Amino acid sequence: MSATCVSRRIDERGAATVVVVALLGLLLVLGAALAVVGGIFAAHRRAQAAADLASLAGAAAVVDGRDVCGTAASVAAANQARLVTCVPHGREVRVTVSVKGPQWRGLSTGDLVGESRAGPAP
């Protein structure tokens, strides 16, 4: 073997370690970003489910003659959501609820909103 071939091999030692460390850092950041996106998706599903249940409870309260928005608010609270709007219109009820979004490293994604309508078919 020539001296240049041996010296080139010696100079390249540890290059793979740098590449592996860089790729691991990239995977770590990508994993954290995916976790936040997954949290946002789950919170939005939770907000929509709470809105659906609150509007159904409000529509049932209309039929029973109970407090529509109070019933919707208690069902939303039972689902870890906050009732934002409640609009009864005849036998139909429209609600909007909000759920706190996930936080990552002190940064909040804000509130996620779900909207729903319940009542008899038109």
Q: Which of 13-17, 30-34, 35-39, 48-52 has the lowest mean pLDDT?
A: 13-17
Phi, psi torsion values for 104, nearest 5 degrees: -140, 120
Contacts of 96-99 with CB under 8 Å at 24 or more apart are 96/51, 97/47, 97/50, 97/51, 97/54, 98/47, 99/43, 99/44, 99/46, 99/47, 99/50
Q: Of the candidates 98, 81, 103, 106, which has an alpha carbon nearest to the alpha carbon of residue 36? A: 103
Mean pLDDT for 78-82 is 95
Select the more confidently predicted residue: 12 or 3. Answer: 12
List 25's β-bridge partners, or say none. Answer: none
Specify the number of domains making up the chain: 1
Give residues with Cβ within 8 angstroms of 82, minimum separation 6. 76, 97, 98, 99
pTM over 0.85: no
Structural domain span for residue 59? 3-118
